[in-house]
Amino acid sequence: MAKGVKRAYISAQREAQAMATQRSILDAALRLFSASSYTATTIQAVADEAGVAVQTVYAVFGNKRELLRRTLEAAVSGGPAEEPLANGPDIQAITAEPDPRRRAAMDAALSTQISRRVAPIMRVLREAAASDPGFAATAQAITAQRRADMVAAAEALAGPDGLAKDLEDTVGTLYVLYSPDVFLALTGDLGWSLERYERWLAEMLYRAVIT
C-alpha cells in the first residue's frame, strides 16, 4: 500500500472512530439528561454511560453547557453531524416538491420526527437556563439556531411561488407550530396520536404558511 493511500486510510479510520465516540457520548447525554436533570447529570456520569474517559468528553465538548447544546442539535438532526438542518436531504426534498399540499405533508412528517426527539430535552434546557448563570450565551445560540431553522423551513415551504406572507410573520408562526410544547400539549395532554398530530400540523402549515 502506498504511503499516501495508507495515511488517507488511517485518517479515515480515525475520523470514523471520532464520530463513533461523539455519537456514543451524545446518546449517553440524551439518555441521562432526559431521565434526570441538568444539575444531576455530571460529565463523569455521561462518560461512564458512554464508556469513555471523562477527559474524552471534555476534549470533544469542552463543558456541560456545550454538551447540552450539541445534544439538542443531535436530537434535531438525528445525528452528531454539524451540517445545518437546512442543508440536509429532507429540507432539500421539501424545497424541490412542486405540490404545496405535499410540501406541507412532508414538512409535517419531518417536524413530527424532530419533536419526538427534542421534546424530552426541553425540560432540561429550561432547568439549565434557570440554574446556571453562565448558560445565557448558550441559550442565545440555541435561539439563534432555531430561528435560522425557521427561516430555512419557511423558504422550503414557500415553493417556487415564494412566501404568501411576510417572512417575519411566517417565522413567528413556524416558531409556534414547531414548538415542542405544542407537540407535548397535543400528544400528551390531549392524547392525540402521532398520526393525528402530523395531519393537524400539515393542515396548519398549508393554511398558515403556504396559502
DSSP letters for 41-91 = --HHHHHHHHTS-HHHHHHHH-SHHHHHHHHHHHHHHTSS--S-GGGSHHH
Rg, Å, the chain Cα set: 19
Least Cα distance to 128 among 73, 181, 69, 56 occurs for 69
Q: Digits of tens for pLDDT over the chain (211 positions)?
A: 566 656 665 666 777 888 899 999 999 999 999 888 899 999 999 999 999 999 999 999 999 999 999 999 888 887 655 566 667 788 889 999 999 999 999 999 999 999 998 988 888 998 898 888 888 888 888 899 899 989 999 999 998 878 888 999 999 999 999 999 999 999 999 999 999 999 999 999 999 999 8
Phi, psi of 186 (to 5 degrees): -80, -45
Rounded-to-integer distance, Cα 172 and Cα 78, Å: 24
What per-residue string of b and e applies to 77-97 under the rule 16 or more CB within 10 Å gives b?
Answer: beebeeeebbebebbeebbeb
Instruction: Report the 10 Å Cβ neighbour count for 120.
Output: 16
The length of the chain, given as a count of residues: 211
pLDDT of the residue at 192: 98
pLDDT of the residue at 193: 97
Model-wide pTM > 0.75: yes
